[in-house]
Amino acid sequence: MKLTVLGSGTMTSPPKRTPAGYLLEHNDDYLLVDMGPGIIRQLKCMEIDLLHIKYIAISHFHLDHCSDLMAFLMNRFLLQENANQDLTIFGPTGLEAWFSAQAQWQGAWLHNARPRLIAFDHQPVQLGSWQIIAALNGHTDNSMSFRIANGATLFYSSDTGFQEELVPLARDVDLAIIECSLPDHLKIDGHLTPSDVARFSNLAKLQRVLATHIYPQNDTPDLKQRIQRHFDGEVIIANDFLTLYL
């Protein structure tokens, strides 16, 4: 499995950090996880054929995780009129209502070639060769974290506060993508700090952690060291276009 970080930042991040987005590849099969503003540009910078992406997983409906989705669909339509019929989107409970609310302002280009929508219902989901197990994480009423398997295993926290209930979802994966929004002294509900990341990683027996969703206040040269004060595993600080192999 190949992972490319498309967006490692937040809405308030400088241009070097685009809001959330991650591209997974396995044997020429693509899964796009979250689509914050700027993710289409990142894909084009990588010269990725947008028509080749067949599967998208959206963790929640905050704009820094999903605002590029409609633009992505229009881009695909302009490249190939019926392309979106071949696309599957997995998302939170309420996905159909959320999508319909966005779609009502669009024209026949979208209504005549809608993607397949799969809403969270507490069951594993198979998207092509990708298996996703999702769990609610408390960031919003319907926000999700993912365990993704395709040859290797990956945990994606998305936005979340410390939730010990998520430990089984992450346990012993090959790589955990964990948000690390703010420093410990600026901790807020619904987001993790370096000590939270370390505590969760120890409970889940993780060996390799990718810290991401980094606010400017936490984006300092010692971020890795602040996590490693309490965690002995490998810590990688995400940057846009960072590529890892699992």
Residue 161 to residue 181: CA distance in whole angstroms: 10
What are the tokens at 3?
């992972």
Amino acid at site 113: A
Per residue in 120-148, pLDDT (tens digit) is 999 999 999 999 999 999 999 999 999 99
The predicted pLDDT at position 16 comes to: 97
Angle subtended at Cα 69 by Cα 142 and Cα 53, rounded to the nearest 5 degrees? 110
Query: Rounded mean pLDDT of the chain?
Result: 97
Per residue in 40-62, pLDDT (tens digit) is 999 999 999 999 999 999 999 99
The predicted pLDDT at position 239 comes to: 98
List all residues 6 or more positions away from 34 whose beta carbon is below 8 Å from its beta carbon: 7, 20, 21, 22, 57, 58, 59, 65, 66, 158
User: What average pLDDT does this structure show over 183-191?
Assistant: 97
User: What average pLDDT does this structure show over 181-207?
Assistant: 97
Share of the chain above pLDDT 70, in %: 100
Model confidence band, residue 158 (pLDDT cutoffs 50, 70, 90):
very high
Predicted TM-score (pTM) of this structure = 0.97
Model confidence band, residue 89 (pLDDT cutoffs 50, 70, 90):
very high
- The span from the first CA to the last CA of the chain, in angstroms, equals 5
User: What average pLDDT does this structure show over 169-195?
Assistant: 97
Share of the chain above pLDDT 90, in %: 99
Q: Could you give the domains of the chain?
A: 2-245 (3.60.15.10)
